[in-house]
Structure 1
Amino acid sequence: MTTATVLSPEELLKVQEWRYATKQFDRDRKVPADLWSALEKSLVLSPSSFGLQPWKFLVIQDPALRAKLKAASWGQGQIEDASHLVVFLAKETLTEADVDHYVARVAEVRHQAPESLAAYRGMMVGTLVTGPRAATVDAWAARQAYIALGNFMTSAALLGVDTCPMEGLDAAQYDQILGLAGTGYHTIVACPAGYRSTGDKYAELAKVRFPEAELVDHR
Structure 2
Amino acid sequence: MGLIDHLKWRYATKKFDAARKVSSEDLEKIKTAIQLSASSYGLQLYKVLIIEDNKLREQLKLASYGQSQITEASHVVIFCNYTTVTEKHIDTYFTIKSEVEQTDISVFQRYSDFIKADILNRSDLERNKWSSNQTYIALGNLLNICAELKIDACPMEGFEAKKYNNILNLKEQGLNASVIAAIGYRSKEDKSQYHKKVRKPFEELFL
TM > 0.5 fold call: yes
Identify the residue that residue 118 of structure 1 maps to in structure 2.
109
Identify the residue that residue 141 of structure 1 maps to in structure 2.
131
**TM-score for the superposition, normalised by structure 1:** 0.91
Match of 2:67 among 67, 70, 76: 76
> How many percent of aligned residue pairs carry the same amino acid?
39
Match of 1:34 among 3, 12, 25: 25
For the residues of structure 2 that align with 1:140 and 1:188, how far apart are their CA atoms? 11
Alignment check: 8 A CA contact 1:127 1:133 kept: no
For the residues of structure 2 that align with 1:147 and 1:133, how far apart are their CA atoms? 22
Counterparts of residues 1-219 of structure 1 (less than 5 Å): 11-129=2-120, 131-132=121-122, 135-217=125-207
For the residues of structure 2 that align with 1:173 and 1:135, how far apart are their CA atoms? 20
For the residues of structure 2 that align with 1:40 and 1:111, how far apart are their CA atoms? 25
Question: Once the 2 structures are TM-superposed, how far is the Cα of residue 119 of structure 1 from its aligned partner?
Answer: 1.3
For the residues of structure 2 that align with 1:132 and 1:184, how far apart are their CA atoms? 17
Alignment check: 8 A CA contact 1:89 1:187 kept: yes
Question: Once the 2 structures are TM-superposed, how far is the Cα of residue 133 of structure 1 from its aligned partner?
Answer: 6.1
For the residues of structure 2 that align with 1:160 and 1:205, how far apart are their CA atoms? 18
Question: Once the 2 structures are TM-superposed, how far is the Cα of residue 35 of structure 1 from its aligned partner?
Answer: 1.0
Structure 2, unaligned runs of 5 or more: none
Alignment check: 8 A CA contact 1:128 1:134 kept: no
Structure 1, unaligned runs of 5 or more: 1-6
Moved over 6 A (4+): none
The two structures, once aligned, show a CA RMSD in angstroms of 1.2
